[in-house]
Structure 1
Amino acid sequence: MSRSVLITSAAVAIVLGLAGCSSSGASAGSSDNTSSASGDLPDVSSAIKEVKVDKTLAASIPQAIKQDGTLTVGSYLYYPPSIFLAKDGKTVVGNDNDLLQALGRKLDLKIKYQNMDFSALITSLKSQRIEVVMSAMSDTTERQKTVDFVDYLDSGIAIVVQKGNPPGITGPKDLCGKSVAVNTGTSQQLYAKQRSKECVADGQKALKVTVTDNAANNQTMLRTGRINALLTDLPTAGYMAATVENGKAFEVVKTDVINRDPYGIAVNKGNPELRDALAKALDELIKDGTYAQILKAWGVQNGAVKSAAINGAD
């Protein structure tokens, strides 16, 4: 997540209220505890339990972490579907959490969370209060100046339409003249403004853009046909399409991700052993299918990467 993405309490509430399977998760501040309090959420615990320790990779972990047996992870636990708290207010769930649990099993490490403001994550990493950051954090060239990233998911802007795609939108070129909604202060708002100017410059109609600070209202407008499309980030778009009305309300337009924005696990530059172990463990999860199962369960498979990349942002 870049700070250009606005996360509101309404967005959290609607995603929590619209999920549709059952799940287990880790308790905040602990490792892989399970709890029925995580409610009706995707459950990939059986796949995670099948992950085997790679003894070679586990041995390559820095000695201090290996002795402790715990990876301390900094995260902002309010960003569904990537990582957030279940209805009990303490159980950590989300595709980032599930992937972390699988990585932990591969490296023979328990996961311990430190919940903090997003703006404090890199500072806490550099001061060694935490050992990694995993919080839907965008790998950017600016952030690469101070930390390294293991990229695990492609994000960016996605176009969401009603199920069946009644406006016939196949990509950005079809947005000209269409009514779209975006959240205020987001990269989607900036993109809609830019795309509208391009449409006019090409002799087409401008976008009709509705800007709100309420993700729930945007979804309602799309569901009732008051707008043609909703612009949001890719993981949220996939999760909406998979969960709202049991997947019968929305779909994500199948097109290239707009303004690609990879998410990465942040690691201190002075810790290449941990960085490389995480990258290799991720590659193993990709090869054995665990990674794909996790992403599909949370509806974010459109952002799947083929292999782990270190500092892969353009």
Structure 2
Amino acid sequence: MTASTTCRTTGLRSRTAAVGAIAVAGALLLTGCGDQTKKDNGSDSASTSAAPLADKLPAAVRDKGVINVGSDIAYAPVEYKDESGKVVGIDLDIAAAMGKQLGVDFKFQNATFDTLIGGLAAKRYDIAMSAMTDTKDRQEGIDADTGKKVGAGVDFVDYFTAGVSLYTNKGDDQSIKTWDDLCGKTIAVQRNTFSHDLAKDQAKKCKDDKKKALKIEDFATNPEAETRMRSKGADVVSADYPVAAYSVKTSGGGDYFQIVGDQVEAGPYGIAVAKDNTELRDALQAAVQAIIDNGEYEKIIKKWGVEDGAVTEAKINGGS
């Protein structure tokens, strides 16, 4: 899930991947976000004294024993609520493994995606971890639409990569195979995501080529965009590939949606940290690298069937 980043379509590349790669447990269902997460929705960690990387944390965080995480908990399978209301997903599992290295709990707090960086700046959270793509615009605090600086920017610790996919109602592909086929269509997207940026870029291309206009409808959450398409208010939805594939696999028992065309590469997911919090940033980088090196990361990635997005190095600000 990427927000407010300038699209660089010339740098995108197709990457073919089967929908079946998202091998998640059939009992997990796509659900919308609700209120703040329950107290038991944080990650489990070892005690600080026993954790190998605890001394890398800022003293205030180490003493508190908790890292507060801003997240849009409506983006299965990255983070979402299961049937019991517990927050689960790829990010939750990665955070739990990091917590064992750092000796702290990661407590996820629910918010809409387009408010996460603002919430981080306002110190409502220590970090934002929500399928957020690491981009230069976010690093520098640049508004993608205006090109103007609107904030201090954030640093990222990269931990995954994901492409972007298009999907339609099942059996109604609208003859869509590529983004260029969207002219004359209506696309539903989550607001301020990379899919939203791609849609805006494509709308300009349709206009420049004097083709039929591309209409964009944006929503606070991806499930809302899907609901709009289900009601025939939109022809197509775009989301990060793991999310699109999960929706195709699980929504309506697999009867609601289908992916059309190949995914395009968006870039690395990153954990966002305030620019002035370099000690926490470096501790997070060390924790991600530690779970990559000790094999815990690989187990999590395989559990969720998203090996295609695995990284081997926890880079800082690796996005472009």
Identify the TM-score tier after normalising by the shorter chain. Answer: 0.5 to 0.7
1:81 equivalent in alignment to 2:92: no
Q: How many residues align?
A: 269
Q: Does the CA contact (< 8 Å) of 1:30 and 1:113 recur in 2?
A: no
Is the alpha carbon distance of 1:151 and 1:98 closer, same or farther for their aligned partners in structure 2, counting shifts above 3 Å? same
Using the TM superposition, name which of 267-276 and 211-220 deviates more: 211-220
Deviations 1:184-229 (A, max 9, x none): 562343244356579x69xxxx6896766641464698xxxx97x7
Residue 240 (1) aligns with residue 243 (2): no
TM-fit CA distance, 1:103? 1.3
Is 1:67 the counterpart of 2:63? The answer is yes
Supply the distance in 1 between the matched residues of 2:203 and 2:228 (Cα, whole angstroms): 20
Cα gap change, 1:304/1:188 in structure 2, threshold over 3 Å: closer, same or farther? Answer: same
Pick from 190, 194, 200 the counterpart of residue 190 of structure 1.
200
Secondary structure, counterpart of 1:274 in structure 2: helix
Tell me whether 1:116 sits opposite 2:111 in the alignment: yes
Q: How does 1:62-211 map to 2 (within 5 A)?
A: 62-89=58-85, 91-145=86-140, 146=152, 147-160=154-167, 176=181, 182-183=187-188, 186-193=196-203, 196=206
Matches of 1:21 and 1:86, distance apart in 2 = 9
**CA offset at residue 150 of structure 1?**
0.7
Q: Is 1:57 matched up with 2:68?
A: no
- Structure 1 residue 58, shift from structure 2 partner: 2.1
TM-score (norm 1): 0.64
Q: TM-score under structure 2 normalisation? A: 0.63
Indicate the RMSD between aligned Cα atoms, in angstroms. Answer: 4.4
Bigger relative contact order, structure 1 or 2 (CA pairs below 8 A, ≥6 apart): 2
Q: 1:255 to 1:282 in 2, by over 3 A?
A: same
Q: Which residue of 1 is the match for residue 311 of structure 2?
A: 305
**1:235-282 deviations in Å (ceiling 9; x for gaps):** 32232344347668745755551xx24321111223222212211221
- The within-5 A match list for 1:206-225 is 214-216=225-227, 218=229
Is contact 1:150-1:266 (8 Å) kept? yes
Structure 2: which 5+ runs fail to align? Answer: 6-23, 30-35, 141-151, 219-224
Instruction: Provide the rounded CA distance (Å) in 2 between the counterparts of 1:70 and 1:177.
Output: 45
Tell me if the contact between 1:181 and 1:231 (Cα under 8 Å) persists in the aligned partners. Answer: no
**In 2: Cα distance, 1:49 partner to 1:130 partner:** 19
- The letter of the residue matching 2:161 is D
What fraction of aligned residue pairs are identical, expressed as a percent? 33
